[in-house]
Amino acid sequence: MNEEEQQQRERAYKIWEDEGRPEGAHDDHWRRAQEPHEVAEQSSDDVTKVNQQADDEFAKDETNLVDAADIRPPSTVSPD
């Protein structure tokens, strides 16, 4: 089994898991795993990059530091 086939198997398995492991949908999952996924992977890479940049900015900004003792829980009384 080459790397591409392994990745396809992993995508089909992930689809199956994401859908709650339904019985009898193997062909559909396999077909969907064969569809081009480069766009999805690129989007995922873009999101990861943006999230990393945001994490880096947040880590640099010391004004966001909050002492845990100062955090108040949400009110249990409805404002309505």
Q: What's the total number of domains in the chain?
A: 1
CB 29 within 8 Å of CB 17:
no
Give tens-digit pLDDT for 9-47. Answer: 988 888 888 888 888 988 888 888 888 765 566 567 777
Q: Is residue 38 part of a domain?
A: yes
Q: Is residue 64 part of a domain?
A: no
Q: Is residue 26 part of a domain?
A: yes
Supply the pLDDT for residue 58: 79
Q: Is residue 13 part of a domain?
A: yes
DSSP string, 28-73: HHHHHHHS--HHHHHHHHHHHHHHHHHHHHHHH-GGG---GGGPPP
Q: Is residue 76 part of a domain?
A: no
Q: Is residue 74 part of a domain?
A: no
